[in-house]
């Protein structure tokens, strides 16, 4: 199920744990904040390369971001149910075209970042 559907904090936490066990390159799952309606976690590839995951059920907000050396290099955000993408070419841009608005689940986002990491020759 994608985050554009009815995935809530509890389902996302389950999905995080499942994806960590499936993807050998993820070295650590750090759950930084967790309540009934909010989840903030990081999936570490290395100390300076990680995916930050944020979900707020109350505001129907999700943020999936690939961070390298303290900067966003790729991301997808859902604000009040509407998705947009931050492309690798210009991570500050909000791609609201049809591809950018496409809902994405955690597994799909991790597939996308694997392609980004390979293209950038990152671990």
What pLDDT, in 10s, does the model give residues 103-122?
999 999 999 999 999 999 99
Q: Give the pLDDT confidence score for residue 1 in this predicted structure.
A: 42
- Written as six digits, the tokens of 15 are 């999905």
Longest CA–CA separation in the chain, Å: 38
CA distance 113 to 15: 16
- Written as six digits, the tokens of 25 are 């390159």
Average pLDDT over residues 6-32: 93
CA distance 47 to 100: 28
Kindly report, residue by residue over 41-69, the tens digit of the pLDDT. Answer: 999 999 999 999 999 999 999 999 999 99
Global pTM reads 0.92
CA distance 40 to 24: 21
SS3 112: helix
pLDDT(81) > 80: yes
SS3 38: strand
CA distance 9 to 39: 6
- Written as six digits, the tokens of 44 are 């570490």
């Amino acid at each position: 199920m994608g985050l554009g559907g009815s995935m809530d904090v509890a389902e996302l936490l389950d999905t995080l744990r499942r994806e960590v066990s499936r993807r050998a390159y993820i070295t650590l799952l750090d759950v930084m904040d967790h309540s009934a309606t909010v989840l903030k976690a990081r999936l570490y590839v290395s100390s300076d390369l990680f995916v930050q995951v944020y979900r707020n059920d109350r505001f129907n907000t999700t943020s999936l971001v690939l961070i390298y050396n303290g900067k966003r290099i790729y991301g997808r955000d859902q604000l009040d149910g509407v998705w947009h993408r931050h492309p690798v070419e210009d991570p500050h841009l909000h791609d609201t075209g049809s591809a950018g608005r496409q809902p994405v689940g955690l597994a799909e986002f991790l597939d996308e970042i694997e392609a980004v990491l390979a293209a950038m020759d990152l671990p």
